[in-house]
A and B are shown apart, each in its own frame.
Chain A
């Protein structure tokens, strides 16, 4: 009898439990996929389209949403909870779904000279307190900054050490020493940055090393020589110094596949010029050609002068003028660089007489 009643009680308890859970259980064919870190649930169950179309859409969606939310809430309630200031808080795990980043991950900076050394020696960074107890002032003072503990600048008395010159200004010495320390720190900081970027260091041979090879020294000399305002044109050479080789201008070509817009622009310009009826003229080339021709004529004239007496002299200015006139006419025809051409021609023609004014 007793056994019967116990069984009955157990059965009753189970039924009650089941009833309680009834309100929160949801029956689904496929379990949902959860990503609690993102408060996300994904329901893969099929919905018969025909069924969906029959009912009222919003009500159907509401019921579906209610079921899915119930399952999600059940999952969230399984998470460990704790009490934070009169609110119960559930700890969420890390999000699982992979999502793309906003920006690429940062590149690791190379360690500075000090960091390398510290790693080598095993020196750990010690966290220092901001405030230090000052005995003399009997209060908490900063470690550095305004009203700091050991302010060297506030000292009004500095003992002259025995080894020092009595006439030396100790205060000025302190100030200078501080300035030097600051400058050294700044220099080291910039060196660290340069090492991190690794492109801005001066080239081979330009920073003095212990042993430098002959070419490095030669290169250093040539670089130093050309680092003047006129790029080394007026630098005197040492008595036994040989003229430098390999200092011709290198021809630089555009890379094959580089700037597409640039290439497109150039080609369009070319087509445009080809299209226009005016002849294309390179002003500088024309001027240079003109000048060369005139020089040649001058030289030829001088030679001829030497050969055959004064008669030719009269022709020279005439020849010059004639050439100038013809040149002008030729350029005038172009008109593309119209005004410029004329000025160029004038300038070219007038080279013998004076410096070309306008360019």
Chain B
């Protein structure tokens, strides 16, 4: 590996790039291929603005073909510490081509090629936009996302790409941006809206949507999906992250929490109960029977 760090700053830099228990936000590198059209360059710029600040947009063209040789992509990812990439290109056979991909351990995990059939850019839709860096809400519609294997992976990839940092809490007024993906009719429609929270009678607001962002009509072209075992390997979580199971707590069907209390063995003769004076041991046996008779009605009353 590289040299040992000599300053605290470089040490912190290397530590932030080292494998960790809870990882950083995934950054994306957005790059152009050998030949790009105006549509593709504008599309890349728009997606970069959606993904800011967790993205890098490269200006120069890279003459590589990701589906044939991914070494150049892996090199870039190692240098810039990015695990997502978006590669745009244009040629006669595949016009307006976008390749979404992700890497695991600086090796390509999944790559899905989408062709842009219709595209409306950010600048063409003249409305006020959401501030940069807002965590978007994501909605996937269409049963195809659950049925088709390729679309399932695409869903996972798009979620990974657009979700942003994982936060413990979110400001309710700041839920402005929503990305909506629909799989219909062999195509995937991506729309980006700004949601306005209107007053409704109750606490939960009524939603009105206003289209802001880029709108794409994609068609799925080639895919390069990871093999099952590589996919499983990429999902392995370290043991320390698993939530610690509290022992002795169990839930039943109704959601009632149950626990067991383990008692030591009790000496029943020393139990504290109600004092029945009459039942106390006497020296004489006769007296006790008399007293018992006297005590019996008392007992009965108490019990009732």
A interface residues with partner B (beta carbon < 8 Å)? 19-21, 23-24, 37-47, 49, 52-53, 57-58, 61-62, 64-66, 68-70, 72-74, 76-77, 81-82, 84, 87-92, 95, 97-106
Q: CB within 8 Å of A: which of B228-246?
A: 231, 233-238
- Please name all residues of chain B whose beta carbon is closer than 8 Å to the beta carbon of A74 when the two chains form the complex: 204
Q: Is the CB of B19 within 8 A of A105?
A: yes
- Please name all residues of chain A whose beta carbon is closer than 8 Å to the beta carbon of B139 when the two chains form the complex: 40-43, 65, 68-69, 72
Given known pairs A72-B137, A102-B24, the reply for A77 and B204 (CB within 8 Å) is yes
Query: What 10 pairs across the A-B complex have the smallest Cβ distances?
Result: A20-B201, A100-B234, A105-B238, A103-B19, A43-B141, A65-B180, A102-B83, A23-B200, A77-B204, A39-B137
Q: Is the CB of A61 within 8 A of B180?
A: yes
- Please name all residues of chain A whose beta carbon is closer than 8 Å to the beta carbon of B182 when the two chains form the complex: 47, 61, 64
Q: CB within 8 Å of A: which of B125-182?
A: 135-143, 145-146, 155-156, 159-160, 163, 166-173, 175, 178, 180, 182
Given known pairs A68-B139, A100-B109, the reply for A23 and B206 (CB within 8 Å) is yes
B interface residues with partner A (beta carbon < 8 Å)? 18-21, 23-24, 26, 83, 102-106, 109, 135-143, 145-146, 155-156, 159-160, 163, 166-173, 175, 178, 180, 182, 184-185, 189, 191, 193, 195, 197, 200-209, 211, 215, 231, 233-238
Given known pairs A20-B201, A45-B143, the reply for A101 and B189 (CB within 8 Å) is no
- Further 11 A-B residue pairs, CB within 8 A, beyond A40-B139, A58-B215, A64-B141: A21-B202, A23-B206, A39-B137, A41-B138, A44-B146, A68-B180, A73-B207, A77-B172, A77-B203, A98-B235, A105-B21
Closest-by-CB residue of B relative to A63 is B209
Return the contact of B168 from the options A70, A73, A92, A100 (Cβ within 8 A): A92
Closest-by-CB residue of B relative to A18 is B201
Given known pairs A64-B141, A101-B235, the reply for A92 and B169 (CB within 8 Å) is yes
| Tally of contacts, chain A with chain B, CB under 8 A | 187
Q: Is the CB of B143 within 8 A of A97?
A: no
CA distance A84 to B109 in the complex (A): 40
Given known pairs A105-B21, A105-B238, the reply for A52 and B185 (CB within 8 Å) is yes
Return the contact of A102 from the options B104, B155, B175, B180 (Cβ within 8 A): B104
Q: Is the CB of B163 within 8 A of A105?
A: no
Q: Smallest distance from the beta carbon of A20 to chain B beta carbons, Å?
A: 3
Q: Is the CB of A100 within 8 A of B173?
A: no
Closest-by-CB residue of B relative to A42 is B140
Summarize B's interface: helix, strand, loop or mixed: mixed
- Please name all residues of chain B whose beta carbon is closer than 8 Å to the beta carbon of A69 when the two chains form the complex: 137, 139, 178, 180, 193, 195, 207, 209
CA distance A84 to B168 in the complex (A): 13
Q: Smallest distance from the beta carbon of A34 to chain B beta carbons, Å?
A: 10
CA distance A46 to B145 in the complex (A): 11
Closest-by-CB residue of A relative to B25 is A102
Q: Is the CB of B208 within 8 A of A62?
A: no
CA distance A95 to B143 in the complex (A): 22
Q: Is the CB of B200 within 8 A of A97?
A: no
- Please name all residues of chain A whose beta carbon is closer than 8 Å to the beta carbon of B204 when the two chains form the complex: 24, 73-74, 77
CA distance A69 to B209 in the complex (A): 9
Q: Is the CB of B236 within 8 A of A70?
A: no
- Please name all residues of chain A whose beta carbon is closer than 8 Å to the beta carbon of B21 when the two chains form the complex: 105-106
Q: Is the CB of A100 within 8 A of B231?
A: yes
- Please name all residues of chain B whose beta carbon is closer than 8 Å to the beta carbon of A21 when the two chains form the complex: 201-202
- Please name all residues of chain A whose beta carbon is closer than 8 Å to the beta carbon of B145 when the two chains form the complex: 42, 44
Return the contact of A99 from the options B105, B159, B193, B233 (Cβ within 8 A): B159
Return the contact of B160 from the options A91, A99, A104 (Cβ within 8 A): A99
CA distance A88 to B173 in the complex (A): 8
CA distance A58 to B192 in the complex (A): 11
Q: Smallest distance from the beta carbon of A312 to chain B beta carbons, Å?
A: 67
- Please name all residues of chain A whose beta carbon is closer than 8 Å to the beta carbon of B138 when the two chains form the complex: 38-41
Given known pairs A49-B184, A68-B180, A103-B19, the reply for A89 and B235 (CB within 8 Å) is no
